[in-house]
Amino acid sequence: MVAVAVGLALGIQAFLVKPFTIPSESMEPTLDVGQRVLVNRVSKNFDDYDRGDILVFNPPRGAEGDVCGVTHSDRSPCPRPTAERSDTHFIKRVVAVGGDRLKILGGRVYIDGKRQSEPFIRPCSGCADLPQAITVPKGHYFMMGDNRGASDDSRVWGPIPKDWVTGNAFATYWPPGRVGTL
């Protein structure tokens, strides 16, 4: 009986829903350090993600050291990731999808010249402006943390391909006072 229960739990986590603990302050105020979320692993096989979705994913190799995949102007976001993915898992929000023309001013996202409504972010007064727009490649997502001043994200290591996504975070289950949907 115990072996069946353990097998079911492992199967569910491997293929359906995976728990994930928030490792850093990059998603505050939406998600706090140590808060736990559930990640839908099935959606990555059937759906495309939209701006605003919160994803768990593997960043490009070198993301921990802010490595971009190509040489680019320091006035633009990184347009391409390194070719290999890291073994680390990050959690960030999709701010642009393939085909979007993106630039960042004052930590705020502009797509096709229009400032996006982002009521969920913690603004950053000291964030570097990246006024030269890039086009996000098809099949990629440009990821940013909600805490714009404390997030290492696609601004420095580039957009991520869909197949590096583990799944979308859809609910919080810990601590008890923060249980809910995302």
Distances (CA, A) of 67 to 14, 139, 156: 30, 21, 7
Please state, in angstroms and rounded to a whole number, the distance separating the CA atoms of residues 128 and 147: 14
Catalytic residue among 18, 44, 86, 92: 92
Active-site residue flag, 92: yes
Cα atoms found within 13 Å of the Cα of residue 161, Cβ hemisphere only: 12
Active-site residue flag, 103: no
Catalytic residue among 18, 26, 44, 151: 26
Torsion, CA 115, CA 109, CA 112, CA 91, rounded to 10: -140
Please state, in angstroms and rounded to a whole number, the distance separating the CA atoms of residues 24 and 30: 12
- The encoded tokens of residue 179 equal 């249980």
Neighbours of 29 (CB within 10 A): 11
Please state, in angstroms and rounded to a whole number, the distance separating the CA atoms of residues 59 and 76: 19
Task: Point out the residues that are catalytic.
Answer: 26, 92
